[in-house]
Amino acid sequence: MTGEECWEEGAAGVLRLPSGRLIRGRGLRRPLPPGEPSPSYGVYLLGRRPPEVPWESGWIRWPDFRLPADPGAARATLAEVWRRCAAERVELACGGGRGRTGTALACVAVLDGVDPAEAVAYVRRHYDPRAVETPWQRRYVRGFG
């Protein structure tokens, strides 16, 4: 894929990682941003299986306000997200788009080279000031490195 198949910087929910990779976070309770292209790959962070989507997708079993049920599988999936967002439109999404999505974005930022102790602040500064909602989500990001 070429850079034309990536997100447009500045589009709703798009986070630029230090490497220049673009990834979109969003809340599933809100509709897709109007006029925006669909993702080519999405990973959904939900306590139960997500609804079907017309693009390739994955699922991390991750109940609301909690942590991933299988941290090893979550790490592997987030590594795949990081790899693919170099050349594809990848999105991470949970119900509201802040807690689980922010936590996952912070973990992807760690994979991109952000210090684990700074990753939550990075995502709050560049994605959503209220991202990563709970103390255990912040600890999870710090331990992700």
Residue 95 pLDDT > 50: yes
pLDDT exceeding 90 applies to what percent of the chain?
90
Compute the average pLDDT of residues 91-116: 98
Q: Tell me how far apart the alpha carbons of residues 121 and 52 are, in angstroms, rounded to a whole number.
A: 33
**How far apart are alpha carbons 99 and 133 in whole angstroms?**
5
Go through the domains of the chain in sequence order and give each one's CATH number.
Answer: 3-144 (3.90.190.10)
Q: Residue 115, CB half-sphere, CA atoms under 13 Å: how many? A: 3
pLDDT tens track for 16-60:
999 999 999 999 998 887 888 999 999 999 999 999 999 999 999
CB of 60 within 8 A of CB of 89? no
41 bridge partner residues: 56, 90
